């Protein structure tokens, strides 16, 4: 039986950890109904962040936070299939941004220059 989590060990207790339980807190879900969907988003976000960053930094709280933000964004994105996040108080369409500047900021000190592809 293979290990369901191919990623390296997580940071020490008390640090930010990109796992299903923490992601569920981020998105505010209290049931197990979306666990499979959330885990898929978490796996996708983890792979995306790890492909672009240095391996020895993967446990850093910045990268764990970036994974959680990206997984949360992917999970919420299903509610905006046309790229519309909602409407402003003035009735103007609010679109989903192509890139999240907070994720970029969290990752920038840890980028692997050969594989960064953040853009």
Query: Distances from the Cα of 80 to the Cαs of 74, 75, 97, in angstroms?
Result: 10, 10, 11
All structural domains of the chain with their residue ranges: 20-110
For the stretch 82-113, pLDDT in tens is 666 667 788 877 766 778 899 999 999 999 87
Task: Assign 87 to helix, strand or coil.
Answer: strand
Q: From the CB of residue 77, how many other CB atoms can be counted at a distance below 10 Å? A: 13
Are 117 and 52 within 8 A, CB to CB? yes
pLDDT score of 62: 94
Are 102 and 49 within 8 A, CB to CB? no
Residue ranges of the chain with pLDDT lower than 70? 1-14, 80-86, 95-96, 114-119
pLDDT score of 39: 97
């Amino acid at each position: 039986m293979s290990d369901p989590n191919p990623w390296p060990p997580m940071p020490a207790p008390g640090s930010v950890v990109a796992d299903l339980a923490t992601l569920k807190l981020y998105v505010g879900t209290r049931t197990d109904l979306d666990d499979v969907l959330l885990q898929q988003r978490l796996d996708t976000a983890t792979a995306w962040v790890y492909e672009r960053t240095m391996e020895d930094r993967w446990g850093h709280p910045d990268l764990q936070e970036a994974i959680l933000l990206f997984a949360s964004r992917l999970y919420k994105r299903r509610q905006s299939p046309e790229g519309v996040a909602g409407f402003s108080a003035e009735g103007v369409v609010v679109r989903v941004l192509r890139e999240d500047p907070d994720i970029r900021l969290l990752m920038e000190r840890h980028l692997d220059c050969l594989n960064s592809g953040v853009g």
